[in-house]
């Protein structure tokens, strides 16, 4: 029995976390076994790597190559410890980011060589690939405004990626656009500037087509 693997992608402030929560709640109400995870992180080892990558006060000198390798070390652990066993049980996995983030952020954003980036991703994930990727799209201006709002209304937690400049995020956005063009059957773009309810409805229309019968998932 195979489960369903859905990933959410997008630039900072695109609304992924909110939409993952809404989708998970709706699926569970229908009786589907659902698990939510995130990258980097999702396992005890991965969460330690996440802190090193994003929040540690000692990460300022981290090279782009080290960032790429750490990101995929977390991913390799997540795939083998969590994702593959859950899918083998016929469960639905919702992941806040997966390997498309590495292509967009470390490949296009950090401008590392794309063949090298892809080779490291392939080693980390093997044949574990998303069935559906939902790319929430917002403009750089909207992304920046949402980040400012979040930082003003929530307790401050340093995020090393959010410290990157506008040119970096412009390249990340371009990277996501190219990923969507390359795999339109998997990567489905969703307008992230609509209302929360409208975005959820658009996501549901895409997800509903992929769902197995509830009786087959228990």
> For position 139, which CATH number holds?
3.40.50.300
Beta-carbon contacts of residue 193 (< 8 Å; ≥ 6 apart) = 137, 138, 139, 142
User: Any bridge partners for residue 189, and if so which?
Assistant: 135
- Give residue 30's pLDDT: 97
Mean pLDDT of 51-61: 95
Mean pLDDT of 97-125: 98
| pLDDT of 140 over the 90 cut | no
The structural domain count of the chain equals 1
| pLDDT of 147 over the 80 cut | no
How much of the chain, in percent, has pLDDT values that exceed 90?
A: 82
- Give residue 71's pLDDT: 98
Please write the tens of the pLDDT for every residue from 174-199: 999 999 999 999 999 999 999 999 99
Q: What is the band of 215 on the pLDDT scale with cuts at 50, 70, 90?
A: low
- Give phi and psi for 56, each to the nearest 5: -60, 140
Mean pLDDT of 158-172: 90
Q: Which domain covers residue 86, as residue numbers?
A: 4-216
């Amino acid at each position: 029995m195979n489960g369903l693997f859905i990933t959410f992608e997008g630039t900072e402030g695109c609304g992924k976390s909110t939409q993952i929560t809404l989708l998970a709640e709706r699926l569970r109400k229908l009786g589907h076994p659902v698990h939510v995870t995130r990258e980097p992180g999702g396992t005890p080892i991965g969460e330690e790597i996440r802190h090193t990558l994003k929040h540690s006060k000692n990460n300022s000198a981290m090279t782009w190559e080290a960032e790429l390798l750490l990101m995929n070390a977390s991913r390799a652990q997540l795939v083998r410890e969590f994702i593959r066993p859950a899918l083998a049980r016929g469960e639905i996995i919702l992941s806040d980011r997966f390997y498309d983030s590495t292509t967009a952020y470390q490949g296009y954003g950090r401008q590392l060589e794309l063949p090298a980036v892809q080779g490291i991703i392939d080693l980390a994930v093997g044949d574990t690939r998303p069935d559906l990727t939902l790319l929430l799209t917002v403009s750089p201006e909207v992304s920046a405004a949402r980040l400012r709002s979040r930082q003003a209304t929530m307790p401050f937690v340093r995020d090393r990626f959010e410290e990157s400049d506008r040119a970096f995020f412009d390249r990340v956005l371009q990277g996501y656009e190219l990923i969507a063009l390359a795999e339109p059957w998997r990567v489905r773009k969703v307008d992230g500037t609509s209302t929360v309810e409208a975005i959820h409805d658009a996501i549901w229309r895409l997800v509903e087509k992929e769902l197995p019968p509830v009786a087959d998932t228990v």
